[in-house]
Structure 1
Amino acid sequence: MKNYEKPELVVTGIGVTSAIGQGKAAFASALFKGQHAFGVMQRPGRRGEASIIGAELPPLSYPNALSKRMLRTASFSGQVAMVTLQEAWDDAQLDNVDPSRIGLVVGGSNFQQRELFQTYEAYRDKMCFVPPTYGVSFMDTDLCGLCTEQFGIQGLAYTVGGASASGQVAIIQAIEAIQADRVDVCIAMGALMDISYMECQALRSLGAMGSDRYADEPAMACRPFDQSRDGFIYGESCGVVVIERADSAVRLREKPYAKLAGWDMGMDRNRNPNPSYEGEARVIRRALEKAKLLPEEIDYINPHGTGSVVGDEIEIKALQDCKLSHAYINATKSIIGHGLSAAGTVEIIATLLQMSESRLHPTRNLEEPIQLDCNWVKNESVPAIIHNTMNLSMGFGGINTAICMQKCESRI
């Protein structure tokens, strides 16, 4: 970069696929109404001896621009990735950008477990008939291959694993790729983590996934920050954001969604799934410092907020001790469930849509908050002027991330 100055970075396109709607319009409409899709999961490879509550995608609508051949051979995660990227690509008008200056970072690892499990079940007694394409499709990088071929991307492309923080880690990696002048535009994707019954059962045995308490009431099961929470509830989703230098976004007919003001990532030095107050507080403070924002300037926080018995308590303590109790807080996962590798990206998109609409979505099932002195958005959507925001994501293995965004002029 000239004079080694870091460029101002903005979000110019978004795409989202979730159980409550495909595409940003359907997603936003359901989000503000608090409409959910929780029920007993039925997808093959995810049904087992126990009935497990979650939110699964409705049948996909495929844009005509996507290759039917590639869709036929893609995994479910791959199909959802292509559909979601098409929306973000069109939104950011990337057909007009040099493909050698476009990059792609896919957040997630081991995100095709259900299909791998099904393949093993189908071929374990006849291994010699395993399709040769399995030699490519079982790898996480297959999503990079699908998307770069479909969209002609010629810059960098790779996957990053950050457990449930993967989506936000992908955004931070995309930001830093542009700052390093490796590309002018970088797409960050939180890929659909298509878990099987085995992962569901293990996460339940670990005490991370609920809900035994609401086994017969799926609509009541997902309860971030409520006294009656008993673990996260899975929800299929995928999110894509397009990030670029503000000075290269002049081609757009509309203003960018937001400026990426500050971010941070840090580790807890802990292999285990338990959260760390110190790690979370550290990235919150560093993100604020990098954004040159005081705590009182943050208007809204989209937290990790999974419904974890321990995790929610620690997250709220970190926010309170960082002097952020005044900011509005809601929990997107209460409506869509926990998308695991996709969560951080989808929740950034939820934040951008709320900034654009000057309205905050409700938090479902927040009947008895674990802390009363926080500025909760509870069971109804509320109007709010949002200038500065913070998103948090945490992952197993001690991964903590925080991103601050600032409002740009309203899009037309």
Structure 2
Amino acid sequence: MAKPERGDPMRSDLLISGIGVTSAIGQGKADFLDALLAGRHRFGVMRRPGRQRPADERTEGTAYLGAEIGTLGLPVEIPPSLLRTASFSSQVALASVYEAWHDAALDRLDPDRVGLVVGGSNFQQRELVQLHEAYRERPQFLRPTYAMSFMDSDLCGLCTEVFGIRGFAHTVGGASASGQVAVVQAIAAVQAGIVDACVAVGTLMDLSHWECQGLRSLGAMGSDRYAERPEHACRPFDRERDGFIYGEACAVLVIEREASAGHAGVRPYARIAGWAMGMDGNRNPNPSLDGEMAAIAKALQRAGLDAAQIDYVNPHGTGSGIGDVTELEALRRSGLGHAWLNTTKSVTGHGLSAAGAVELAAVALQMRAEQLHPSRNLDDCMEPSLSWVRERALDHRIEHALNLSMGFGGVNTAVCLSRH
């Protein structure tokens, strides 16, 4: 294959043909997009059982902030017998896959030609902690299905059983980049002809109070500075940021070739123009300017695009002290300082393993809507000279967009979408 010249894109035939989203701000892609464009949030003190450590005679209780899903709607077609033993992460994933599956009309395909990549690892921690506490004094009564459900691969089993997937299915871990790593793996599988369509899941990371404490102790998760004003706590790229604020979410994207989608009359959301994944060679959580720039450059090169042709960037933007600084420097040095920017996590919170898929879905949905969602809490912007979408949604026809996602352990990913 000839290498594309810069500024002369080699048209990819890979498309996003289906999307499913479940998040704190809305279930289903329509509600999710409406909430994004309106800047509606669900931040508050988290109430889901197992998220807070209760007070005892030695320590005070916790009041970690976050955004949690309300009542979860589940399709009636999913057997109740499966749901009874499915974790919360699995239930949310099943609801999201169901939406994406029917959006892309995957029932038309040979099930042997459909694959599944689940993005995330160790994503059922809260449920495991609760089970351990409940059966600590009577372990012999632990339900037998625990032997399966504690494994991340159980979600692969559930999805393949419910949707009849007979191609491959596996999980991939990339910390907060897991969702986008899943998409990159799905792209590779379809491009290689292993399957005709691949379902990529950015899985809900179900934190317990142990993970919240660990992330707080590391300095990654937001402090108690906004304990009395949780709506102000999540503020990526603002000078008053002090860490990420968690948000429950799951997003699913279906990747397939244009010819396959076109036969079903499916209306694709976007063309996948370029993608990249690279490592920093660093176990620690600190970001790498060189690593981020390398991922950006590789994605643009694969797309055959110059940085000047990118008119919208959806950044990783968590609200961390060093992470936001490094990412803005990477964008500037990569020639992307002209592009429109907004901060999806300021509305949704940080979905951790789901984040990369949630934000890629947000890009594709904004591309179809020809609107960019506002950024919350960008009151004292770190770089006011950049083209931020601030308090209100902006009408904009996206031609070429770049979405970035990074994870602990030096994971850097970038995906470039183009209008179909």
When the two structures are superposed, what TM-score results if normalisation uses the length of structure 2?
0.95
Residue 74 (str. 1) matches residue 79 (str. 2) = no
Deviation at 1:127, TM superposition (A): 1.5
Alignment partners' CA distance in 1, 2:413 and 2:262: 30
Render the CA deviation track for 1:176-208: whole Å, top value 9, x for unaligned. 011221101000000001010000011001000
Q: 2:385 aligns with which of 365, 373, 376?
A: 373
Q: For residue 54 of structure 1, what is the aligned residue in structure 2?
A: 66
Render the CA deviation track for 1:40-63: whole Å, top value 9, x for unaligned. 001111012210000000011111
Q: For residue 96 of structure 1, what is the aligned residue in structure 2?
A: 108
Residue 17 (str. 1) matches residue 22 (str. 2) = yes
Tell me if the contact between 2:375 and 2:389 (Cα under 8 Å) persists in the aligned partners: yes
Q: For residue 330 of structure 1, what is the aligned residue in structure 2?
A: 342
Q: 2:49 aligns with which of 33, 44, 54?
A: 44
Deviation at 1:373, TM superposition (A): 2.0
Render the CA deviation track for 1:373-403: whole Å, top value 9, x for unaligned. 2111111111111010000000000000000
Deviation at 1:310, TM superposition (A): 0.7
Alignment partners' CA distance in 1, 2:128 and 2:341: 38
Residue 206 (str. 1) matches residue 205 (str. 2) = no
Q: For residue 32 of structure 1, what is the aligned residue in structure 2?
A: 37
Render the CA deviation track for 1:308-337: whole Å, top value 9, x for unaligned. 111000000000000101000001000010
Instruction: Give the 3-state SS of the residue equivalent to 2:15 in structure 1.
Output: strand
Deviation at 1:129, TM superposition (A): 1.5
Render the CA deviation track for 1:48-104: whole Å, top value 9, x for unaligned. 221000000001111122222111111101100100000000100011110000000
Instruction: Give the 3-state SS of the residue equivalent to 1:310 in structure 2.
Output: helix
What amino acid maps onto 1:18 in structure 2?
Answer: S
Q: 1:161 aligns with which of 168, 173, 177?
A: 173
Residue 267 (str. 1) matches residue 272 (str. 2) = no
Tell me if the contact between 1:211 and 1:233 (Cα under 8 Å) persists in the aligned partners: no
Tell me if the contact between 2:12 and 2:272 (Cα under 8 Å) persists in the aligned partners: no
Alignment partners' CA distance in 1, 2:306 and 2:270: 18
Q: Show structure 1 runs of 5+ residues with no match.
A: none
Instruction: Give the 3-state SS of the residue equivalent to 1:368 in structure 2.
Output: coil
Q: Show structure 2 runs of 5+ residues with no match.
A: 2-9, 54-60
Correspondence list, 1:127-206, <5 A: 127-206=139-218
Tell me if the contact between 1:7 and 1:179 (Cα under 8 Å) persists in the aligned partners: no
Alignment partners' CA distance in 2, 1:180 and 1:294: 26
Alignment partners' CA distance in 1, 2:11 and 2:383: 39
Deviation at 1:6, TM superposition (A): 10
What amino acid maps onto 1:38 in structure 2?
Answer: F
Instruction: Give the 3-state SS of the residue equivalent to 2:321 in structure 1.
Output: coil
Distance 1:288 1:102, change over 3 A: same
Tell me if the contact between 1:6 and 1:179 (Cα under 8 Å) persists in the aligned partners: no
| Equivalent pairs, count | 405
Tell me if the contact between 1:212 and 1:230 (Cα under 8 Å) persists in the aligned partners: no
Q: For residue 289 of structure 1, what is the aligned residue in structure 2?
A: 301
Instruction: Give the 3-state SS of the residue equivalent to 1:132 in structure 2.
Output: coil
Residue 230 (str. 1) matches residue 242 (str. 2) = yes
Deviation at 1:7, TM superposition (A): 6.5
Alignment partners' CA distance in 2, 1:229 and 1:6: 40
Runs of 4+ in 1 over 6 A off after TM superposition: none
Residue 343 (str. 1) matches residue 348 (str. 2) = no
Alignment partners' CA distance in 2, 1:400 and 1:7: 22
Deviation at 1:8, TM superposition (A): 1.5
Greater shift in the superposed pair: 112-121 or 59-68: 59-68
Deviation at 1:254, TM superposition (A): 3.9
Tell me if the contact between 2:252 and 2:357 (Cα under 8 Å) persists in the aligned partners: yes
Alignment partners' CA distance in 1, 2:18 and 2:320: 31
Tell me if the contact between 1:11 and 1:259 (Cα under 8 Å) persists in the aligned partners: yes
Alignment partners' CA distance in 2, 1:301 and 1:112: 31
Residue 8 (str. 1) matches residue 13 (str. 2) = yes
Q: For residue 394 of structure 2, what is the aligned residue in structure 1?
A: 382
Residue 360 (str. 1) matches residue 372 (str. 2) = yes
CA-atom RMSD, angstroms? 1.3
Instruction: Give the 3-state SS of the residue equivalent to 1:50 in structure 2.
Output: coil
Q: For residue 83 of structure 1, what is the aligned residue in structure 2?
A: 95
Residue 402 (str. 1) matches residue 418 (str. 2) = no
Tell me if the contact between 1:165 and 1:395 (Cα under 8 Å) persists in the aligned partners: yes
Instruction: Give the 3-state SS of the residue equivalent to 1:176 in structure 2.
Output: helix
What amino acid maps onto 1:320 in structure 2?
Answer: R
Alignment partners' CA distance in 1, 2:354 and 2:186: 15
Alignment partners' CA distance in 2, 1:20 and 1:130: 35
Percent identical: 59
Greater shift in the superposed pair: 208-217 or 248-257: 248-257
Deviation at 1:126, TM superposition (A): 1.5
Q: For residue 129 of structure 2, what is the aligned residue in structure 1?
A: 117
Alignment partners' CA distance in 1, 2:398 and 2:260: 25
Instruction: Give the 3-state SS of the residue equivalent to 1:269 in structure 2.
Output: coil
Instruction: Give the 3-state SS of the residue equivalent to 1:350 in structure 2.
Output: helix
Deviation at 1:251, TM superposition (A): 2.5
Alignment partners' CA distance in 1, 2:241 and 2:20: 30
Q: For residue 57 of structure 2, what is the aligned residue in structure 1?
A: none
